[in-house]
C-alpha cells in the first residue's frame, strides 16, 4: 500500500507517494533530489516524534495524508550556506548601468593594437551585454578572450572567426544553451580552456565533443541535470569541473568503457554539490585520475575495485556523504591509496602546509 505524505520544508509543502513498507531512510533518499538536503542531514518529525531511519513508515504509525516536517542540518543542505563561491560575484545591474556608457562604446585603436600585439583580449568586469564588434577584427591574433563577469546574453557565430583562440573565458554571464553558437565554438580547433561556469546553462549539446583539444572544462555552478555522452571524445581533457549542478548520475561517457579508454589524461574531476547516489564500477577506468571531489552528494559507497583501478588517485574528498572511513578500509587497494595520500600530505607539510596523518577527507569515523 502506498502512502501520500505532505513534507513541510522551507515554507512549502512537498507531496510524495511511497510504499508503507519503505523505511524512513528510504523516504529521506526520495526527498534528497526534491530538497537538495542530503539524507544524513535530514531530520523528519511527525506528530511530535523524530522518525527513526531503521523503522518502516507503517511501524512509524504514518498514515495516508499525514504531514511530516523536515529539518535540515547546517552544512548538509546543498543549496544554502555550505556552498562557498570560488569566484567574485558577477557585476551588479546597477554597476553595469553606471559603466555601460564607457564600457560599450567603440574600442579605441590603441586597445585594438594592444590586443593584436599580445593576443590577449581582456574585457572582464566591463558591464558588457554583447561582445564588441572590434573583437572580431583580431581574427588570427587572438589567443585569449576574457569576457568574465559581464552580462552577456549571446555568443554569436562570429566567434568562429577567432581561429587561433586557445582560452575562452565566459564565467559569470547570463548565457543559456540556446544563446551560444555551438557550431561557432566547434570551429575553434586550438581551444584548450573553456570556462562556462556560473551561467544559466540547463544542458549542453553533443557538439561539445568536437572540441577535441580541450584540456580544461569548467561547467560548474549552472543548472545542469546531465552531461552529454560526447564528453568522452575530449581525448585531451585533464580537468573537469562540474560541481554545484543538479547531476543525478555520472555521464554515460564516463560510465562507458570505450569512452573511458579515450579519456587517457583526465587527472582532476570535481562533481561535488550534485545529486549523485552512486558511481558506476567502470569509473575506475580513469587510470590517470589523481584528484576526485565528491563532497555533498548522496553517495553511500564506492565501487569495490575503485582503489585498485584508480591507481594514481591521491586526493579523495567525501565530505558530507554517507561513506564512512570503515567502509573505505574494507575496499581492495585501500592501503596503496592511503600510502599515496599520506605521501602527498607529507609533501604539503614539507612546504609548511598543515596536513593530517589520519583519513579525514570527509568520511565519517563511525
The predicted pLDDT at position 29 comes to 85
Give residue 361's pLDDT band: very low, low, confident or very high (50, 70, 90).
low
Say if 47 falls within a structural domain.
Answer: yes
Say if 20 falls within a structural domain.
Answer: yes
Per residue in 151-186, pLDDT tens?
999 999 999 999 999 999 999 999 999 999 999 999
Q: Is the pLDDT of residue 215 over 70?
A: yes
Closest CA to 234 of 256, 257, 261, 213: 213
> Taking all residues of the chain, what is their mean pLDDT, rounded to a whole number?
82
CA terminus-to-terminus distance, the chain:
35
Q: Is 61 helix (H, G, I), strand (E, B) or coil?
A: coil
Closest CA to 126 of 146, 144, 142, 141: 146
Contacts of 117 (CB under 8 A, 6+ apart): none
Can you tell me the mean pLDDT for 214-240? Answer: 90
Distance CA 19, CA 31 (A): 14
Per residue in 78-119, pLDDT tens?
543 333 333 333 334 333 333 333 445 567 778 888 898 899
Q: Is the pLDDT of residue 258 over 80?
A: no
Rounded alpha-carbon distances, angstroms, from residue 40 to 25, 37, 72: 9, 8, 9
Say if 39 falls within a structural domain.
Answer: yes
Per residue in 17-40, pLDDT tens?
999 899 999 898 888 878 878 888
Rounded alpha-carbon distances, angstroms, from residue 26 to 44, 57, 275: 12, 9, 15
Give just the sign of the alpha carbon dihedral 9, 15, 18, 20: positive
Can you tell me the mean pLDDT for 341-354? Answer: 73
Let me know the angle formed at the C-alpha of 90 by 87 and 96, rounded to the nearest 5 degrees: 150
Can you tell me the mean pLDDT for 49-60? Answer: 91
Say if 59 falls within a structural domain.
Answer: yes
| Residue 112 grid cell | 585594438
Give residue 243's pLDDT band: very low, low, confident or very high (50, 70, 90).
very high
Say if 116 falls within a structural domain.
Answer: no
By CB atoms closer than 10 A (0-12, 13-18, 19+), residue 170 is buried
Q: Is the pLDDT of residue 51 over 50?
A: yes
The predicted pLDDT at position 200 comes to 94
Closest CA to 276 of 250, 309, 258, 301: 250
- Domain hosting 14: range is 2-72
The fraction of the chain above a pLDDT of 90, given in percent, is 46
The predicted pLDDT at position 96 comes to 39
Q: Is the pLDDT of residue 365 over 50?
A: no
Q: Is the pLDDT of residue 3 over 70?
A: yes
The predicted pLDDT at position 281 comes to 76
Higher pLDDT, 73 or 263: 73
| Cα–chain center distance at 220 | 4
Can you tell me the mean pLDDT for 127-141? Answer: 91
Task: Identify the CATH number of the domain in which residue 54 sits.
Answer: 3.10.20.90
Of the ranges 72-86, 222-236, 242-256, the best mean pLDDT one: 222-236
Determine contact, residues 341/302, Cβ cutoff 8 Å. no
Say if 164 falls within a structural domain.
Answer: no
pLDDT-wise least confident of 8-12, 60-64, 95-99:
95-99
Say if 213 falls within a structural domain.
Answer: no
Beta bridge partners of 18: 3
Q: Is the pLDDT of residue 250 over 90?
A: no
Give residue 147's pLDDT band: very low, low, confident or very high (50, 70, 90).
very high
| Residue 324 grid cell | 564512512
Give residue 359's pLDDT band: very low, low, confident or very high (50, 70, 90).
low
The backbone torsions φ and ψ at residue 72, rounded to the nearest 5 degrees and listed phi first, read: -95, 130
Give residue 227's pLDDT band: very low, low, confident or very high (50, 70, 90).
confident
Per residue in 275-310, pLDDT tens?
998 887 777 778 888 999 999 998 988 988 899 988
The predicted pLDDT at position 362 comes to 52
| Residue 176 grid cell | 543559456
Say if 80 falls within a structural domain.
Answer: no
* DSSP assigned state of 72: E
Q: Is the pLDDT of residue 344 over 90?
A: no
Total number of domains constituting the chain: 1
Determine contact, residues 118/140, Cβ cutoff 8 Å. no
Amino acid at each position: 500500500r502506498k502512502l501520500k505524505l505532505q513534507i513541510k520544508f522551507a515554507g512549502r509543502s512537498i507531496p510524495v507517494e511511497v510504499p508503507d513498507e519503505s523505511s524512513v531512510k528510504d523516504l529521506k533518499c526520495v526527498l534528497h533530489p526534491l530538497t537538495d538536503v542530503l539524507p544524513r542531514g535530514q531530520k523528519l518529525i511527525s506528530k511530535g516524534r523524530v522518525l527513526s531511519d531503521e523503522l518502516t513508515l507503517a511501524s512509524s504509525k504514518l498514515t495516508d495524508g499525514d504531514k511530516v516536517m523536515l529539518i535540515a542540518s547546517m552544512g548538509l543542505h546543498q543549496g544554502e550556506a555550505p556552498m562557498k563561491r570560488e569566484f567574485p560575484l558577477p557585476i551588479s545591474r546597477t554597476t553595469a548601468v553606471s559603466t555601460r556608457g564607457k564600457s560599450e562604446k567603440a574600442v579605441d585603436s590603441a586597445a585594438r593594437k594592444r590586443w593584436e600585439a599580445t593576443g590577449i583580449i581582456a574585457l572582464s568586469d566591463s558591464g558588457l551585454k554583447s561582445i564588441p564588434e572590434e573583437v572580431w577584427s583580431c581574427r588570427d591574433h587572438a589567443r585569449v578572450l576574457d569576457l568574465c563577469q559581464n552580462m552577456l546574453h549571446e555568443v554569436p557565430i562570429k566567434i568562429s572567426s577567432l581561429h587561433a583562440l586557445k582560452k575562452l573565458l565566459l564565467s559569470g554571464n547570463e548565457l543559456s544553451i540556446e544563446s551560444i553558437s555551438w557550431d561557432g565554438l566547434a570551429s575553434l580547433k586550438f581551444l584548450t580552456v573553456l570556462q562556462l561556469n556560473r551561467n544559466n546553462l540547463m544542458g549542453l549539446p553533443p557538439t561539445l565533443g568536437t572540441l577535441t583539444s580541450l584540456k580544461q572544462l569548467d561547467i560548474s555552478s549552472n543548472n545542469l541535470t546531465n552531461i552529454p555522452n560526447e564528453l568522452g571524445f575530449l581525448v585531451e581533457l585533464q580537468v573537469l569541473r562540474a560541481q554545484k549542478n543538479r547531476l543525478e548520475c555520472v555521464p554515460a561517457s564516463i560510465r562507458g568503457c570505450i569512452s573511458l579508454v579515450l579519456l587517457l589524461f583526465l587527472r582532476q574531476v570535481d562533481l561535488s554539490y550534485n545529486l549523485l547516489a552512486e558511481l558506476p564500477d567502470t569509473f575506475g577506468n580513469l587510470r590517470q585520475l589523481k584528484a576526485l571531489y565528491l563532497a555533498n552528494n548522496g553517495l553511500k559507497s564506492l565501487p569495490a575495485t575503485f582503489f585498485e583501478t584508480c591507481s594514481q588517485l591521491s586526493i579523495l574528498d567525501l565530505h558530507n556523504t554517507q561513506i564512512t572511513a570503515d567502509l573505505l578500509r574494507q575496499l581492495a587497494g585501500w592501503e596503496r591509496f592511503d600510502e599515496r595520500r599520506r605521501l602527498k600530505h607529507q609533501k604539503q607539510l614539507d612546504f609548511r602546509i598543515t596536513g593530517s596523518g589520519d583519513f579525514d577527507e570527509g568520511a565519517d569515523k563511525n
